[in-house]
Structure 1
Amino acid sequence: MSSDYPAVAGLVKGLQVLRALNRLVEATTADVAEETGIPRPTAHRLLETLRKEGYVHRDSLRQPYRLTLMARTLGEGYHDDDWIADIAQPVIDELRVRVLWPSDIATYEHGHMVIRATTHGTSPLSIERVSRGRKIAMLDTATGQTYLAFSPPPLRAAILESLDEFPGIQRPPYLERSLKATLERGYGLRLRGSQPKTSSIAVPIMFEGKVLACLNLNWIHRALKSEIAITRYLGQLREAALRIEVSYARYHAPN
């Protein structure tokens, strides 16, 4: 079959609009028209089409457009998790040898944090069955709160909006204070909560200002006071996250 079909102009312009919104985060029709060079009436029709299909949103006619989490579905066929197995898993395996307590690496996906790597299966101190692919909550886990706290405000707001649509999930009244405290101290903290036998701390793994994933360390709550766990292990957890960040940057460096 020939590959010389003419480009579909409407589709090309629609993709230009999506890319522009991704760069601008929030934008009016005029902003998008200026960014893309598309005539303003055409830009408006494209934005309204994308809004009706659920890919962009605005609160009112006077408010700017922004991408919704549905726009993430456009990239679901693309997987960039090889770095976790190649780079991150060896680091947390070494961490487990030093500290014995189990760790997990989790990434965000569709309103949950998802375990991508873990040492629960090899830690002699693990009392939980945790496997790759397990979904964990955003609001009452150390990794979830860390991801939210270190994400840019527009992304955080979009995630929280999406969580409001999940049945049975309610934002705690102290959530904003908790996220602010997490950002200020540089790590997330869960004291039992949804997993009553354990507690955990978590730190972000960052690249170019974005949260790639979160790395946690879990301990049996009755066996270790939280102050001792933080004093003893937070530095090692941060060191492990930094090693992963450095290796990831090299992994993505241009050849």
Structure 2
Amino acid sequence: MYKTVQGVERGLKILETINEIGCRATCHQISVITGIHRTTVRRYLETLVALNYIQRSADDTFFYLSPNVRKLSDGYRHESVHSPKTLELMNELTAHVMWPADLSTFKLDSMLVIESTHRSSRLSLTTSMIGKRLPMLMTASGKAYLANCSDKQRKYILDILKNGTSLDARLAGDETYLNRVLAETRRKGYGQNSGEWGEYSKIASIAVPVYVQGELFGSLNIIFHRSYMSPDEAAEKFYDYMLEKARLIGESLRI
């Protein structure tokens, strides 16, 4: 049996620790939590910065995960998260509203679609949504998640977005926009978008949060043509039904 490689073990432990801290971390914090000497931690941090898995603050005090870390999970498949019942419930939703639905969960700096009915919906604009990453501040799913997650996680997500290069970077720094979107989403009970994401300028969407054992897991959305109805019109027709399906889907998930 081969011995573990200490360097790999330490590097991964440092990445895990920064993730667990949930925001920008100092070298001292990482050293205390991992039990690795501060000088050694600093050496690993410099290497991870050079590899673009970690970013540092302008004053060289704080370190935080880079969006590049998401490459480490791109090959991970989520089949084990949900059961056949999950897709059955989503297909029932699509049969009722006619439009395709997506189930997504937060991953690093975006919402990751882990299940979808686009492939079975006659009204879908695409058949390949599983694995698609949705911007946090331009999509109904992202807004629904941000409005319902904890204050600590929201700050963590926004810090990542502000310091990243994603489509959300500018919006994450606009407090007026953020406050308006979060207040509107909480008041209505659902996230919405209508052509805000340039890649899908012809569509609109509404999304509700999905909880598993009382903990926020992700969002359930439906997507439709903007010319057919507005998000508010969709919510008037389908909001209550979506909420019930989101509850049942949450019960079907295996976390």
Q: TM-score, normalised on structure 1?
A: 0.76
Residue in 2 that maps onto 1:45: 43
- CA distance in 2 between counterparts of 1:150 and 1:31 reads 28
Residue in 2 that maps onto 1:19: 16
Residue in 2 that maps onto 1:8: 5
- In structure 1, stretches of 5+ residues that fail to align are none
- CA distance in 2 between counterparts of 1:210 and 1:162 reads 27
Q: For residue 5 of structure 2, what is the amino acid of its counterpart? A: V
Which of residues 87, 90, 102 in structure 2 aligns to 1:89?
87
Which of residues 234, 237, 240 in structure 2 aligns to 1:229?
234
| Shift in alpha-carbon separation, 1:112–1:57, aligned structure 2, 3 A | closer
- CA distance in 2 between counterparts of 1:67 and 1:110 reads 9
User: How many angstroms does 1:120 deviate by?
Assistant: 4.1
Alpha carbons 1:112, 1:136 under 8 Å: kept = yes
> 1:44-63 counterparts in 2 under 5 A?
44-61=42-59, 63=61
SS at match of 2:164: helix
Alpha carbons 1:85, 1:117 under 8 Å: kept = no
Q: Determine if the alignment matches structure 1 residue 189 to structure 2 residue 192.
A: yes
- In structure 2, stretches of 5+ residues that fail to align are none
Residue in 2 that maps onto 1:66: 64
Q: TM-score, normalised on structure 2?
A: 0.76
Higher relative contact order (CA 8 A, sep 6+): 2
Summarize deviations over 1:205-234 as a string: whole Å, max 9, x none.
344787644211234445445444213311
SS at match of 1:162: coil
- CA distance in 2 between counterparts of 1:135 and 1:65 reads 28
Q: For residue 160 of structure 2, what is the amino acid of its counterpart? A: A
User: How many angstroms does 1:16 deviate by?
Assistant: 2.2
| Shift in alpha-carbon separation, 1:169–1:43, aligned structure 2, 3 A | closer
What is the Cα-based RMSD across aligned positions, in Å?
A: 3.4
User: How many angstroms does 1:203 deviate by?
Assistant: 1.7
Residue in 1 that maps onto 2:161: 159
Which of residues 206, 217, 240 in structure 1 aligns to 2:222?
217
Residue in 1 that maps onto 2:102: 104
Residue in 2 that maps onto 1:239: 244
User: How many angstroms does 1:201 deviate by?
Assistant: 0.6
Q: State, as a whole percentage, how many aligned pairs show the same letter.
A: 27
Comparing 153-162 and 44-53, the one that deviates more:
153-162
Q: For residue 205 of structure 2, what is the amino acid of its counterpart? A: S
| Shift in alpha-carbon separation, 1:210–1:10, aligned structure 2, 3 A | farther
| Shift in alpha-carbon separation, 1:242–1:219, aligned structure 2, 3 A | same
Q: Determine if the alignment matches structure 1 residue 204 to structure 2 residue 234.
A: no
The higher radius of gyration belongs to 1
